[in-house]
A and B are shown apart, each in its own frame.
Chain A
Amino acid sequence: MKLNINSRLVEVGDDPEMPLLWALRDIAGMKGTKFGCGIAVCGACTVHVDGIPTRSCQLPVGDVDGPVTTIEGIGNKENLHIVQQAWIDEQVPQCGYCQSGQIMAAVALLDETPDPTDEDIDDAMTNLCRCGTYPRIRSAIRRAAENMKQEA
């Protein structure tokens, strides 16, 4: 089976029941998407399917019905996404384990709502962070929104 991941066709094995998370990590070798709970409550595994933030630990590869974007697909160290840059500017990550998922959720939020209110942020950013980086995540989203405005 092959899926469109980060605009490339990627082999994801032959078990349609396998959650996208494990196909990404163990078959495609893309380790940026993290395993936290396996029941879609922590958000560490958040990717975009057709631009929609999706918890990949509960999505069988057989049910993927659109192009997938992972943390590796939105930017890299040489060419950072505006949200990744804001994360660096605000020095958000601590252990960093939840941050791929947080960034994917934030990118989707800002795509949909370029100038989010606090409430919008609360509603969209439901991912768990055990290091408690929430205040800096909020600042980084605001900064990214501001930078997007200036670029537009």
Chain B
Amino acid sequence: MGIAKIARRTFLIGAAAIAGGVAVGYYYVSRPYDNPLEKDLAEGEVTFNPYIKIAEDNTVTVITPRAEMGQGIHTSLAALVAEELDLTLDDIEAEHGMADWAYFNGGMLEDGVPFAFFNESFMAETMRTAMPMVGKVLGLQVTGGSSSIKDGFDKMRQAGCATRYMLLEAAAKEFGVDKSTLKIEGKSVVDPASGKALEFGKLAAAAASLEMPSELVLREQKDWKLLGKSQPRVDIPDKVTGGHIFGIDVDLPDMVHATVKMSPRFWAKAKSYDEAPALAVPGVQKVVPLETQTGNGFGIIADTTWAAFKGAEALEVEWEEASYPKTSDAMFEVIEKALETEADQSLRDDGSVETAFADAPREELLEADYKVPWLAHACLEPMNATAQFRDGVLSVWAPTQAPTIIQMICAGQVGVESSDVRVHTTKLGGGFGRRGEVDFPIYAVELSKHTDGRPVKVTWSREEDTRHDTYRPAAMGRMKARVKEGGLPTAFDMHLSSPSIIQSLMDRTFPGQSPAGPDNTMEHGAFDQPYTIPNYRVRASKADLPVPVGFWRSVGNSYNGWFHESFMDEIAEKAGMDPLDMRLELMKDYPAAIGALKKVAEMSGWGREMPEGKGLGLAHVLSFGTWVAMVVEVTNEDDEIKIDNVWAATEIGTAIDPSIVKAQIMSGIVFGLSSALGQEINFEDGEVVEGNFDEFDSMRMNQCPDIHVELLETYHKTGGAGEPGTPPSIPALANAIYAATGTRIRTMPLSHEVDFVS
């Protein structure tokens, strides 16, 4: 094990640095943060590390610092602790805890390196090793990038293991026996010889005062009792009984309600406004102009959310003109034009596509342009946040994926130190990347300056939410390949063009800070796919458009995966090859991909005789460390497409909770199919056209296919679960429609060219 490998696995508890039982030296970035739980302990509570509290009454609380937005992360993170602490999930209370730098996500940034997941070269590994350190220095407590398990797998188990050692040690002293003879049963340490038992709650104070163990030996996979097995999710009982759990449900003494009416044209301000009609609405208290780093508009403070909504409707505003191209068509011209320029970046350039194309006979060349629109996240819980500014302390309650970023930015808004900003993460009614943004807390904090110390809950209307999103960018892909009848492609070229998410995110989140280097997200799902083609290039051009764009479930993979895998289908057709056979050849260097492809072929009965009007479509996308091969089956009846079945073979390395992983893959599939079925955000006069679910809908029950997910666990690295289901679903559907109808669609949504059962 080289030093880099060791450092990557380093986890610190107290003064000890440990790596799979090996103590190593450490340096500045490896120093642990203070344990944030120490600040807020209740009477009789004891903490062992940032993840575990034990109370005198034997309550064991596990801080699960990734946002629970539906992906089941509280269950899985709690299970990692429970496994090492010899508990069941029933023994544990799982909580988000307060925003704190100690809860940085090192796993997410590992994926930020400009290398494919399967690239384990010295350079790639060195950069991956460094990335968590960056996360630590920045204190980024962020949920995203399907990275929570990657980040928490060692940390949480080590936290549980160290606590177990200390509890056993304390009990051994108490009983006067050797700790190796003790065991844990039902939140007590038991001495089988004497039959004596002591609850964790009674041992905790003594245990926490012991020296931290300097070496930990984690349980081996073969001995796992909880991990690798489906657990009942800890959040479900509240979710079926209407428990008060989401940000929108926050209810505080003396709280007032509010909403926002932001400029429908991005970055434009109000030229003039009349607040009188709004103030005339019964229950409306105040209209507050807002000028912030994320947008301009007004806050309407009222007695109830309904009154605030009515007030916002009544408020008369004349807005400035848009400073950018005003229609979707005009914006697409900018995106298309960027394809005519030199690319800004290229993350893959094998061989020389130029040479391969230069001497190709015309009939061996295949070219196509692909295009996708902007998309809204459409979290079912509309954007909202609650803030209270009183006695120099700012409290924010938010359904957020990025609590420490809120802490940092909102501190500046009211002029206090970050340490005087308390961010409470509520449960999230969907996130999908939208809730890593800072606009919704910023507006709540602005309004909290106008409520005399009373808390203010700011709830957006659905229309406000759809029209002020940070959209999945529109994009184009110019594809070119060289392939001849009966052969494999010898050259494959993708030129991508889209606005840059990283640029847009930096501009609104940290104005004035320029991002360095390429925006890898622009090429994700394209440069990093496990195909071997001798001449293989992926490059991208940034289209300069100021409409905010952001992380949307699977990010660049959501469209590049489609461009790549649909064009592969076109190549297979030109070569006269079966799409599965061609992929098996092109991916033969990657056993994980081959395993997933063969599995999905078996699940779906690939190659079977299809009746008239039915078609199967195949795609494979590796994203967030998980290899997903997918087949979609459609029926074309009376010129309406019905999606009958989706089969997904998912190579994830190790599935911590198979039921949760399958649910996530299924969820990602419905999310992707929903976009293909008819979602698009359009612009007119610089404003977003679509407002509510009648104009921006998603798949419903009657359209939802039977979804069959199988997990494969052979790869040596573990991948994510939340996002990898989305990218292959879109090309697999489009390819199935081609198989069933002969219509090759290259523009999203597919509903422009075919009708779906509705």
Bound-state Cα–Cα, A80 to B430, Å: 25
**Within 8 Å CB of B378, what residues of A?**
130
Bound-state Cα–Cα, A69 to B71, Å: 30
Q: Do A96 and B248 touch across chains, with their CB atoms under 8 A apart?
A: no
Q: Do A77 and B241 touch across chains, with their CB atoms under 8 A apart?
A: yes
**Within 8 Å CB of B230, what residues of A?**
91
Q: Do B248 and A35 touch across chains, with their CB atoms under 8 A apart?
A: yes
Q: Do B237 and A33 touch across chains, with their CB atoms under 8 A apart?
A: no
Given A18-B306, A31-B251, A37-B692, A128 and B236 contact (CB-CB distance below 8 Å): no
Q: Do B380 and A99 touch across chains, with their CB atoms under 8 A apart?
A: no
Residue of A nearest to B379 (CB): A130
B282 in contact (CB, < 8 A): yes
B643-684 CB mask vs A (1 if < 8 Å, else 0) is 000000000000000010001101111110010000000000
Interface residues of A in 23-70 (CB under 8 A from B): 25-27, 29-39, 41-42, 44, 70
**Within 8 Å CB of A3, what residues of B?**
none
**Within 8 Å CB of A127, what residues of B?**
701
**Within 8 Å CB of B241, what residues of A?**
32, 71-72, 75-77, 80, 84
Q: Do B70 and A96 touch across chains, with their CB atoms under 8 A apart?
A: yes
Bound-state Cα–Cα, A150 to B730, Å: 42
Interface centre among A87, A134, A137 (most CB of B within 10 A): A134
Interface residues of B in 468-501 (CB under 8 A from A): none
A114 in contact (CB, < 8 A): no
Bound-state Cα–Cα, A149 to B536, Å: 60
A115-141 CB mask vs B (1 if < 8 Å, else 0) is 000000111011111111111111000
B229 in contact (CB, < 8 A): no
Given A22-B306, A93-B235, A132 and B382 contact (CB-CB distance below 8 Å): no
Bound-state Cα–Cα, A91 to B461, Å: 30
B251-294 CB mask vs A (1 if < 8 Å, else 0) is 10000010000000000000000000000001100000000000
**Within 8 Å CB of A129, what residues of B?**
380
Bound-state Cα–Cα, A84 to B240, Å: 6
Q: Do B693 and A96 touch across chains, with their CB atoms under 8 A apart?
A: no
Smallest CB separation, B614 vs chain A (Å): 19
Smallest CB separation, B753 vs chain A (Å): 24
Q: Do B462 and A38 touch across chains, with their CB atoms under 8 A apart?
A: yes
Q: Interface size for chain B: under 10, 10 to 19, 20 to 34, or 35 or more residues? A: 35 or more
Given A27-B304, A32-B243, A33-B242, A94 and B701 contact (CB-CB distance below 8 Å): no
**Within 8 Å CB of A87, what residues of B?**
236, 240
Q: Do B427 and A88 touch across chains, with their CB atoms under 8 A apart?
A: no
B232 in contact (CB, < 8 A): yes
Given A96-B239, A131-B430, A134-B701, A41 and B666 contact (CB-CB distance below 8 Å): no
Interface residues of A in 70-105 (CB under 8 A from B): 70-72, 75-77, 80, 84, 87-88, 91-100, 103
B749 in contact (CB, < 8 A): no
Bound-state Cα–Cα, A97 to B427, Å: 10
Bound-state Cα–Cα, A33 to B693, Å: 18
Bound-state Cα–Cα, A98 to B700, Å: 12
B678-698 CB mask vs A (1 if < 8 Å, else 0) is 000000000000001110011
Q: Interface size for chain A: under 10, 10 to 19, 20 to 34, or 35 or more residues? A: 35 or more
**Within 8 Å CB of A121, what residues of B?**
701
Given A31-B242, A131-B667, A36 and B382 contact (CB-CB distance below 8 Å): yes
Interface residues of B in 411-449 (CB under 8 A from A): 427-432
**Within 8 Å CB of B694, what residues of A?**
39, 41
**Within 8 Å CB of A135, what residues of B?**
666, 704, 706-707
Q: Do B701 and A138 touch across chains, with their CB atoms under 8 A apart?
A: yes
Bound-state Cα–Cα, A41 to B69, Å: 22
Smallest CB separation, B493 vs chain A (Å): 34
B233 in contact (CB, < 8 A): yes
Which of A19, A35, A39, A130 sits near B698, CB closer than 8 Å?
A130
The 9 closest A-B pairs by CB, nearest first: A32-B242, A132-B670, A95-B70, A96-B239, A97-B429, A94-B70, A71-B242, A122-B702, A22-B306
Seen from chain A, the residues whose Cβ lies within 8 Å of a Cβ on chain B are: 13, 15, 18-19, 22, 25-27, 29-39, 41-42, 44, 70-72, 75-77, 80, 84, 87-88, 91-100, 103, 121-123, 125-138
With A94-B72, A132-B671 given, can you name 13 additional A-B contacts, CB distance below 8 Å? A22-B305, A26-B306, A29-B251, A32-B242, A32-B244, A38-B692, A70-B242, A71-B241, A91-B663, A95-B428, A96-B239, A96-B427, A132-B668
